[in-house]
Amino acid sequence: MASWKMENITNVMEFEPIAREQLPKMVYDYYASGAEDQWTLQENRNAFSRILFRPRILVDVSQIDTSTTILGYKISMPIMVAPTAMQKMAHPEGELATARAASAAGTIMTLSSWSTSSVEEVASTGPGIRFFQLYVLKDRNVVQQLVRRAEEAGFKAIALTVDTPRLGRRESDIKNRFALPPHLTLKNFEGLNLGTIEKTNDSGLATYVADQIDRSLNWKDVKWLQTITKLPILVKGVLTAEDASLAVEAGVGGIIVSNHGARQLDYVPATIMALEEVMKATRGRVPVFIDGGIRRGTDVFKALALGASGVFIGRPVVFGLAAAGEAGVRKVVEMLHDEFELTMALSGCRSVKEITRAHVITPWDASSPRVAPRL
């Protein structure tokens, strides 16, 4: 792996073994692992493989338009960057490199609350459409201050993570006694005595979350957030129709179907399996997005065919960043875009709007093909 060349990379999954070789074990395990048995971690990928295409033929696909509009902002593709924490553990330029890469690609970056670059530093990298992912801490003054800073820095939406009242049991982090390397800080909390994650006898992050995250977070707090910001609030972590309906009733700006990269509760459905349940509950009243397990342009197409307005990419971005900094992130986004465009062409879709439910077959469709038993 030491002699790899960017031009020899053919898909985003090839960055992971490079990142694994280059990163300290504690850091790689933090990015790569899921909760407990990691069943959902595998299922996030496997579920996509059970969805098949119904391609249409003899459509003039000489011109393909992958652009779309998200919350009123036109972007080059329905492929956006998910929030991933502490990116300077992966590369010295961390979130700054990711921000520049997303902007160059004409798409949206979401910055984590637990970033190793501040909202102001990310904004200083230049123009770009950016969302801010928010954890609600026990100290609401800190939350209010952080939201205000994101708004003043030009961020366009708040992605409120709602599936983390406690941290999922990530056994790799426990074994490695995960801690934020001492030369790094959680930049958004610098000066508030909240900027470090120290080594403990357990996962330092689990201890940090237990100490700082507000476990009482509920739907009333979504209303409270709406009183302190004019930005649309996307609720990130929805997996059921019931919660999707409550989110719409709460007046959110959108929903992100997410199982936190399979890092919270194990044995929840893959996000692509939960998507249609959420779509039916929202009935088109708010945009619905999805993250988790997306590694191919075909995955992006499948998500849009099942109703998603766009997808967010997490681990591939971090592994591309670890391997080659900004150039690695650019390559990840570029490859996913090119695969998505090819999938559109081979399915007979000239624009994102032409991607429909009729273009895919799912295991729960009555017409789904069955594999013949082996005789």
SS (H, E, C) 201-249: CCCHHHHHHHHHECCCCCHHHHHHHHHHCCCCEEEEEECCHHHHHHHHH
pLDDT at residue 208 in the model: 81
From the CB of residue 73, how many other CB atoms can be counted at a distance below 10 Å? 12
CA distance 172 to 174: 5
Q: How far apart are CA 296 and CA 337, in angstroms?
A: 9
- Is 374 flagged in the annotation as binding? no
* Mean pLDDT in residue range 293-299: 98
> For residue range 107-116, what is the model confidence (pLDDT) as tens digits?
999 999 999 9
**Confidence band for 211, pLDDT divided at 50, 70 and 90:** confident
- How far is 137 from 140, CA to CA, in rounded Å? 6
Which pLDDT tens digit goes with each residue over 147-188?
Answer: 999 999 999 999 999 999 999 999 999 999 999 998 999 999
- Strand blocks (E) in the chain: 52-53, 68-70, 73-75, 79-81, 109-111, 130-134, 157-161, 233-238, 254-257, 288-291, 310-313, 360-361
Is 215 marked as binding a ligand? no
10 Å CB burial of residue 193 (0-12, 13-18, 19+) is: exposed
Active-site residue set: 260
| pLDDT tens digits, 21-61 | 999 999 999 999 999 999 999 999 999 999 999 999 999 99
Residue 260, marked binder: yes
- Residue 314 marked as a ligand binder: yes
